[in-house]
Amino acid sequence: MVPFMYLYQFRDYPKRGSIYRKTFATTRSMFWHSELSPTTEPRRVTLNKGDWVDPTRAGRTVPYKIYTPERMDRDLDLFPVIIWSHGLGGTRDGAGFISRYVASHGYVIVHIQHVGTDSILWDGKPGHPWTHIRAAKIPRKTVLNRYRDVHFAVSQLRDMAAVGALPHADINNLGMSGHSFGALTTQIMAGQRIARGSRHYDLHLPDFRAGILYSPVPGRKDPVDPGLVYGGIRIPLLHFTGTDDESPVENFGMERRLMIAAHAGRDDQVVVILKDGDHMVFNGSRGGLGDNPLRDRHEELIKVVSLAWWDWYLKGDISARDWLQGPAMRAYMGDDFVGHAH
């Protein structure tokens, strides 16, 4: 098995006094480009909501929300396109803090909503949404429809681009990301196989060049041959989790989330573990969790590291690659650094 890369690991904490334990202070020289700031969105971003209807699936509706950056004089290239998939009980409106920031740096971000595993599980029902989400029984057909939504969304985006409805978007330069169930959806599109007893299904979508998994999701039961299931992954993935990333539905934690990268069998799987990062910090909301005093800091780290990943893989920015792989990111993370780089 090819080893994957840990940028941050939950063991072997840095010694006191090292650069990783210094008090955090942001300076522009910390980043891969001097003009980059975690608090500045350089381009105005417009939002467009709508619904796609798939006639091949009995008129199934796929709601979408597109973040489009304005074009600047310095923009010579088309903007890469990134699809976002929400978690169980979520909507196309989640994780806006990530998408606004990344879009403002020259990306078209497309949030899609998966009917049947979205807010329909709790909307209009008494009590807390998580009560209904935890009690939900999701039919296999609904899950498969969720995965097929991505295939359909890509085809719709290509149709939009063909008629000029996605100006300045490079529809041949695609990435995908998602949170929780959306991370699993990204894993499936990346090539992870679906195990059903002795049978394995493959819904890999080869259009994507790279992806980000916010709270990666392992199988409900550990597969007999994890290499067969996770070894189907065929693209670079950033696995983003936190030491407090406990599943609100299935009661597993960070350690099991690391299985995907461990068994993917590729050296382009990168793991980032956010110290004290919980499950909902990647979604921009709290759900059933209490207040997180580190929320602002964590959201900043998430959006900056995400941008570096996309700059590396969708824009070919070697400076972003070096920032991610070298000491600069570890210095930037400061006390949020967990473990050591391999």
Contacts of 224 (CB under 8 A, 6+ apart): none
Contact 131, 121 (CB under 8 A): no
Cα(175)–Cα(238) distance, integer angstroms: 11
- Domains and their CATH numbers in the chain: 41-315 (3.40.50.1820)
Tokens representing 299 are 């959201």
Place of tokens 């709270």: 215
Cα(342)–Cα(126) distance, integer angstroms: 48
Radius of gyration of the chain (CA): 19
Cα(251)–Cα(133) distance, integer angstroms: 13
Beta bridge partners of 238: 212, 270
pTM (two decimals): 0.90
Burial class (CB in 10 A: 0-12, 13-18, 19+), 9: middle
Question: Can you state the percent helix, strand and coil of the chain, rounding each to 5?
Answer: 35, 25, 45
Q: What is the pLDDT of residue 323?
A: 95
- Residue 66 backbone dihedrals phi, psi, to 5 degrees: -110, 125
Closest by Cα among 29, 26, 33, 100 to 70: 100
Place of tokens 């480009």: 33
Q: What is the pLDDT of residue 198?
A: 64
Tokens representing 285 are 């909301």
Cα(132)–Cα(126) distance, integer angstroms: 9
- Burial letters 110-139, b for 16+ CB under 10 A, else e: bbbbbbbbbbbbbeeeeeebbebbbebeee
Cα(173)–Cα(81) distance, integer angstroms: 6
Q: What is the pLDDT of residue 129?
A: 87
Contacts of 124 (CB under 8 A, 6+ apart): none
Place of tokens 């329909």: 120
Cα(298)–Cα(283) distance, integer angstroms: 11
Contacts of 250 (CB under 8 A, 6+ apart): 220
Cα(193)–Cα(188) distance, integer angstroms: 7
DSSP 8-state assignment for residue 337: -
Cα(312)–Cα(327) distance, integer angstroms: 16
Strands 45-54 and 60-69: antiparallel
SS3 234: coil
Cα(24)–Cα(338) distance, integer angstroms: 14
Contact 157, 110 (CB under 8 A): yes
Burial class (CB in 10 A: 0-12, 13-18, 19+), 44: exposed
For 323-335, what is the HEC assignment? Answer: HHHCHHHHHHHHH
Q: What is the pLDDT along the chain (342 residues), one digit of tens a residue?
A: 333 444 543 222 233 222 222 333 455 568 999 999 999 999 999 999 999 999 999 999 999 999 999 999 888 899 999 999 999 999 999 999 999 999 999 999 999 999 999 999 999 999 888 899 999 999 999 999 999 999 999 999 999 999 999 999 999 999 999 999 999 999 999 999 987 766 777 999 999 999 999 999 998 777 778 998 999 999 999 999 999 999 988 889 999 999 999 999 999 999 999 999 999 999 987 665 667 888 899 999 999 999 999 999 999 999 999 999 989 998 898 877 574 333
